[in-house]
Structure 1
């Protein structure tokens, strides 16, 4: 089996992995891992590819496992972490945990909103924990300003997907004068999807991210160029700000292939 398996294209591997690791299918991976020792070594690590942590105790347990010589191999196989309702004081532990997982690329954190909403800030610990991921989903939390939102996203070097649900911030839209100062350190050149649901402004984040991608602008420069600023204005003017949601998908395209609607846009980055 393994000889035939290794001959398959990697795309088929990914498809089968996604199918088997979907809800209700992990038992199939477990069954395959019990066939033989060879299959066990190959399939059992996949059981831990996507983990859901629901308490600070779960975080401490996983942290201890990946730091233990007997089970440190797990760190190389965990590609997605989902945190459910883990709020301070457990949040700093979460940021530390991600740093021990070099293969982790997807983070989903639902902070819940009771008894109080969590206010996220831009700090060195958060920056370090998010640096190597490619997908960030946040649910039910606040930022002190829109600039902080961009700072946090800009710290993710290879960010491909952003999904925000009920994320709130002070609606302080950046102006032309603001763009001269430090907005963030990102370039957003790898972004392929931005989804916003019930946020303070469902167009602001995708407008800035996708404008940077389409104009190949890096925020490490001193100021936002006129071309990018015009693109941001176009997003905000013609795509509007839905009260409920917006979704923007990116694909490489050539001139004339732009296809956009109120909730979807294809951004030229080629």
Structure 2
């Protein structure tokens, strides 16, 4: 499954948020979307998912325009993983994951045996079967994020769109989520995720798209595109980049000047 954004302009009504965005995403690839608040990342995601119509250009899946696909057909191709949140109702984890089968179930019908098997398989795929009977409201933030990923996998999509999947998580849970993201890509899943952390881009992404004021400011391999100059342009902050022992990359900011 190939996702293509072709000269895409997006926004709300007559208000344009971003324009002239072109990129592709193939099977097994992780594309990180990096940009400051207000750059248009969420609006771009909504347009990719079909929640907003393109103002110009097109979103294509294997050459087929998003506009020609029904909601059910879209759901079988692309799934959305929002940021983890605190739910109001104490659904069991397995039932939250089962909700991902909604696109596969006929209207006014209950989930069947296969739907439950797929949902259970999604939990098992992420090593979360032991949480199936726990209330979603009583598990940790990291476990909630993994539950939302499992719910998306239950759709059996080809592409995952992840909105800041490590936001509000502690360091350990950030690493666990990113590890699962990398593993899903190794299994052939195409993944596009947004982040504010350049280190995470170097950890998991095959390519990075830099979004600045609604336009692509760079697109390519992280080591080629993500530089002190581009980070300065995006976030107006000076950073130092370097390779650590073992080959990992680190982005750090100089010690802040307190004015003392």
**TM-score normalised by the shorter chain: which range applies?**
0.3 to 0.5
Mark the structure with the bigger radius of gyration: 1
Q: Which has the higher strand share?
A: 2
TM-score (norm 1): 0.32
